[in-house]
C-alpha cells in the first residue's frame, strides 16, 4: 500500500451532515447506493449498542456500492468481495473542518489481492476513480 496514492484525503467547506446528504444524492444520480444509510452515523450506532462517544463525535462511514456492477462481478468471482463495497469516511477535525477519507488500491495491489483475475483490477480501478470524482464533485 502506498498511503500517498491509495488514501484519498479531501477537506470540504460543507458541514459533515450536508456533505453526507449531498454525497448520497450524487451516488444515486450515478447508479450507486449507500447501503448503510440507517447505520452510517457512528455516534448513533455506537450509542445504540452501549458505546460511549461525546456529543460532538460525527464520524459517518458510508458504504458505497453499485449493485448493477457488483452483481455481475461477484457472481463471476466471489473472491473479489474483499475489495467491495467501498467506504467513504466523513468526519470533522481541527475546529470542525469536514474531512473525507477514501481508500483505494493500485492495479498492482488489486492483482495481488485477487489472483488470476486481470479484468477485475481494471474494472474496480475505474470504480475507485469514479468514487473519487464524486467526492470532488460534492466537496
What pLDDT is attached to residue 71?
A: 95
Q: Is the pLDDT of residue 44 over 90?
A: yes
pLDDT in tens, 53-91: 999 999 999 999 999 999 999 999 999 999 988 999 999
pTM of the predicted protein model = 0.91
Can you give the pLDDT at residue 15? Answer: 95
The confidence score (pLDDT) of residue 118 equals 83
**pLDDT of 72:** 94
Q: Which CATH superfamily is domain 3-138 in?
A: TT1751-like domain (3.30.310.70)
pLDDT, tens digit (0-9, with 9 covering 90-100), for 14-34: 999 999 999 999 999 999 999
pLDDT over 80 (residue 4): no
Q: Which three cell numbers stand for residue 79?
A: 473472491
Asked whether the predicted pLDDT for residue 107 surpasses 90, the reply is no
Provide the pLDDT for residue 103.
95
Amino acid at each position: 500500500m502506498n498511503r500517498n496514492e491509495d488514501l484519498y484525503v479531501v477537506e470540504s467547506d460543507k458541514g459533515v451532515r450536508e456533505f453526507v446528504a449531498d454525497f448520497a444524492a450524487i451516488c444515486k444520480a450515478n447508479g450507486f447506493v449507500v447501503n448503510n444509510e440507517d447505520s452510517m452515523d457512528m455516534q448513533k450506532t455506537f450509542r445504540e449498542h452501549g458505546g460511549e462517544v461525546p456529543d460532538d463525535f460525527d464520524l459517518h462511514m458510508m458504504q458505497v456500492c453499485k449493485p448493477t456492477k457488483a452483481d455481475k462481478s461477484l457472481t463471476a468471482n466471489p473472491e473479489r468481495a474483499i475489495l467491495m463495497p467501498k467506504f467513504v469516511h466523513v468526519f470533522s477535525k481541527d475546529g470542525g473542518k469536514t474531512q473525507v477519507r477514501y481508500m483505494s488500491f493500485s492495479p498492482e495491489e488489486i492483482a495481488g489481492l485477487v489472483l488470476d483475475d486481470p479484468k477485475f483490477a481494471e474494472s474496480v480501478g475505474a470504480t475507485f476513480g469514479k468514487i473519487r470524482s464524486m467526492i470532488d464533485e460534492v466537496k
